[in-house]
C-alpha cells in the first residue's frame, strides 16, 4: 500500500468514527495528520495531486464539518478544529513553499 492509500484509508476510518457519533478519536486524528504531512514530498516531487487524493481533499472539510453539527458544545468545537487543522495541513502539502 502506498502513502496516498494509507492516508486515504486512515482518513476514511477517522471520518467513519466521526459520522458514527462514537466520539472523537485523538489517536486516529493524529495518525491522519501525520500521514497527510508525509505526502508533501511525494506531491512536490510529482508536481501534481493524484486523483484519488484530490477527491478526498475536495470533501475533507465538509465531511468533517457535517459530523460536527451532530454534536453540541465542546465536542462540536473539537471536531471543527480538526477540520480546520486537516484543511490547513492539506493546503501546506500542496503548496510549493
Span 32-82, pLDDT tens digits: 999 999 999 989 888 889 889 999 999 999 999 999 998 889 999 999 999
* Contacts (Cβ under 8 Å, ≥6 apart) of 48: none
Q: Identify the CA nearest to 77 among candidates 62, 90, 67, 87.
A: 67
4 to 22, 49, 62, 96: CA distances (angstroms): 26, 10, 20, 18
The span from the CA of 6 to the CA of 22, in Å, is: 22
C-alpha cell at 46: 510529482
Query: What predicted TM-score, i.e. pTM, was given to this entire model?
Result: 0.91
Q: Label residue 97 by pLDDT band (50, 70, 90).
A: low
Amino acid at each position: 500500500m502506498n502513502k496516498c492509500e494509507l492516508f486515504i484509508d486512515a482518513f476514511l476510518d477517522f471520518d467513519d468514527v466521526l459520522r458514527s457519533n462514537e466520539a472523537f478519536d485523538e489517536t486516529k486524528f493524529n495518525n491522519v495528520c501525520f500521514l497527510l504531512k508525509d505526502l508533501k514530498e511525494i506531491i512536490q516531487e510529482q508536481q501534481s495531486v493524484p486523483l484519488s487524493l484530490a477527491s478526498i481533499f475536495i470533501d475533507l472539510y465538509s465531511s468533517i464539518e457535517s459530523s460536527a453539527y451532530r454534536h453540541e458544545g465542546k465536542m462540536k468545537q473539537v471536531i471543527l478544529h480538526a477540520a480546520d487543522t486537516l484543511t490547513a495541513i492539506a493546503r501546506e502539502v500542496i503548496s510549493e513553499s
